[in-house]
Structure 1
């Protein structure tokens, strides 16, 4: 069931179009991520949903109610910012309860609501601590609880994890996703981190220069990028032109002018040990220029007559035998060459 409708949103700053006719819908309880580089318009759009940025044209509808002209307080949306914006002179409990007190709610009514949130964010026993006594991750949980305690119809998260180190980010993003699922909270999340988007989202909307480049599930976005921009931004795709593939000696190049090929889809082995080419593969030889360890994966950069190709492989004995300047043979599945719309 469609719960949020974002229709034909346009926003210009002087002569620059920041949001160019943006439209999409969100189902109730869905976790949507706006993904894109800095300056693509994703945070501007999020703030416009919250009523913090005005728009030139378009409509926001939440739960069947047109909120476009409403002030932020009446939109029933909660927003968590990149900066935690906690009150330093208030305790955890007081920070979470702040919005409810402003709304003139009786203490007897809001105390159990705040206690429920403190338990939900796993800070029970720390309700009387001040922000300075908490870690960055704990402070962000308090900011999240402060928005959730008012039971907004839509939760907006504007790069809430960007100030945290990598390990805490991974832990907290999973916690946010679990809380969102438990509350069945319709959520719009903004990030420029591809891994983050792929991990937590029901659907991803990739933005570039104020436009939507592609929308789909994480699997659809990763496995079938629709454009050169998405392929280059979403992962570590090889983006190869038909001409350079032909000049590199690849045969059976499919129809199209530009292709994306996942590095993990390509097979690699020493050229001297190469077996007969399997059916459905393009085969060529090149020289290994670099091997980089990326956790449990090794990324090989191979030069094929001037064309650079990345190949990802899991660690094993055979892979570790490959060294720089080794002659290697690559096996590229024809079915994994995804045609792309070229950036113009």
Structure 2
């Protein structure tokens, strides 16, 4: 699905602004200024940092906290999350440019979560580059990824320095998202092998699908829900509009994760380079949405054969092709995309009447649909 030209141009302009604010929070040079160094170290204004020590620490902080994150941030990414939030703030009458530091911090948080996710999944590639842990080592990558979560409070103090009530409300939304995302990641790491065994044996995919949906909602839906909640707080939206925006954000994030399961089967190529290994989840024996949908769509013997191939995560290349072919041809992939689109449409129908009837509001819908329909290929 192609985005309107005006929207693509606006996204490029926004990406440049966002990069500037990312650089302010995580400068791409080892000559960090003293204020940034103190923030990264978590020092209070009254805590001394002698000049000679500061010079030594700046380089070490840059190498261990900043560079692993910039390694992934500088690889690009779609950055649709901060852009979509910026459009919502703008549509609701807020100054989206003023709040760009918060959006940049949110992108750094997302990047940190990807670094940790790659460690946990033992993924070798992200955004067309070697995963951060393969370059900087697992301990450094884990620590840097976690530290990126705390860019948000630094940005919040800059943007909302005096409004303690608003700052506390925003922090509460942010922490709730982190809690939910970690719960979703915990469920994702644990996996659903036993649940898939039961579904294959009984032919009942309902409980399995519900558990996949919950994991996706927590891991990917909750952070976008919280981002839209923050947007509503910043512009002082009504409780009704805030609730509708949060549900829409959750639907966008969850639908995106569902379609990400589909893209795992196809791989992602940008600018001629693969950004993610094909069938990474299948190779790891992971139960994703297409596999769960296949339980009801494949004959019992066929779904048993596919699950036998996938279950222990030791697929040969022929096995990978066989499993992907079965999931594509049985309708499991289409079921995933249809579910994601229905989810998004239902949430949009709730929030649409509460938004101004402007072109910018249409852009919000167009971008949200694009995040789902990116998998609609021939």
Structure-2-length-normalised TM-score:
0.30
Structure-1-length-normalised TM-score:
0.33
Higher helix share: 2
